[in-house]
């Protein structure tokens, strides 16, 4: 009998359960896979070192923010940082789906369509509370705001030589570093026991379950 190809082999709850227990290091390697510039230019050992540093950076900044501002929800903190949080209900403008966009100097745009789709998906299962969803997303973007104002922060200061020509060296930041630190920051700010990178999987699943199934297969290898 031909296999039906529009659905992944594993159930949604099984995949989510497996991904929730995946290590931050493994999610970090996933983030590098999304980094078109760097994924093939660094060794696995170099990537692991950078991932660990980025995780520590996000964690330490979350602790620093909590100590400086006290006990606040992420929404309240966004206000304390004078961030303008806007909603965009226009659906997806580009072919890259995202939950939110940070636009310097102080605007965070939450995309209501993907957030609603993921919330709907999660409401059918009790594995994951949806009430935290906006705060997880907002904390990630708050980190991008913080790093854009801190030139010495690891995610901004860490540069690697991309190419050399005679006496000229071109050094560049690594996009994945920012993403890993932002996820680590959000994890710590929201007291989560899983990596917020799980939200990437949920987002893909909400739009394309088959592609999410492929992503899952690659991740659990």
The footprint of Zn ion (CB under 5 A) covers: 179, 182
Residue 57: burial class (beta carbons within 10 Å; 0-12, 13-18, 19+):
buried
Rounded to whole angstroms, the Cα distance separating 95 from 183 reads 22
- Only one residue has tokens 């190809």, namely 5
The minimum distance between CB 142 and Zn ion, in angstroms, equals: 11
How many other CB atoms sit within 10 Å of the CB of residue 208? 14
Pairing of strands 107-111, 84-88: parallel
CB nearest Zn ion: which residue? 182
Q: In terms of CB distance, is 197 or 216 closer to Zn ion? A: 197
Q: In terms of CB distance, is 179 or 216 closer to Zn ion? A: 179
Q: In terms of CB distance, is 22 or 101 closer to Zn ion? A: 101
The minimum distance between CB 179 and Zn ion, in angstroms, equals: 5
Q: Is 41 helix (H, G, I), strand (E, B) or coil?
A: coil
The minimum distance between CB 101 and Zn ion, in angstroms, equals: 9
Q: In terms of CB distance, is 11 or 92 closer to Zn ion? A: 92
Rounded to whole angstroms, the Cα distance separating 213 from 201 reads 9
Q: In terms of CB distance, is 10 or 81 closer to Zn ion? A: 81
The minimum distance between CB 77 and Zn ion, in angstroms, equals: 17
For residue 80, what are its two tokens? 């304390």
The minimum distance between CB 98 and Zn ion, in angstroms, equals: 8
Rounded to whole angstroms, the Cα distance separating 24 from 204 reads 19
């Amino acid at each position: 009998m031909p296999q039906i190809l529009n659905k992944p082999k594993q159930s949604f709850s099984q995949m989510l359960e497996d991904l929730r227990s995946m290590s931050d290091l493994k999610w970090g390697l996933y983030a590098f896979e999304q980094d078109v510039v760097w994924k093939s230019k660094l060794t696995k050992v170099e990537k692991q070192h950078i991932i660990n540093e980025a995780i520590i950076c996000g964690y330490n900044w979350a602790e620093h923010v909590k100590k400086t501002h006290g006990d606040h929800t992420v929404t309240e903190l966004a206000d304390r940082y004078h961030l303008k949080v806007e909603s965009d209900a226009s659906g997806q403008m580009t072919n890259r789906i995202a939950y939110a966009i940070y636009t310097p100097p102080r605007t965070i745009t939450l995309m209501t369509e993907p957030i609603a789709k993921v919330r709907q998906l999660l409401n059918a299962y009790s594995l994951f509370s949806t009430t935290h969803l906006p705060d997880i997303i907002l904390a990630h973007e708050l980190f991008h705001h913080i790093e854009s104002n801190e030139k010495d922060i690891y995610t901004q200061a860490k540069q690697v030589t991309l190419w050399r020509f005679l006496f000229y060296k071109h050094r560049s930041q690594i996009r994945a570093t920012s993403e890993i630190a932002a996820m680590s920051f959000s994890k710590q700010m929201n007291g989560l026991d899983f990596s917020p990178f799980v939200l990437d999987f949920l987002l893909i699943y909400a739009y394309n379950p088959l592609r999410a199934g492929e992503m899952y297969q690659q991740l659990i290898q």
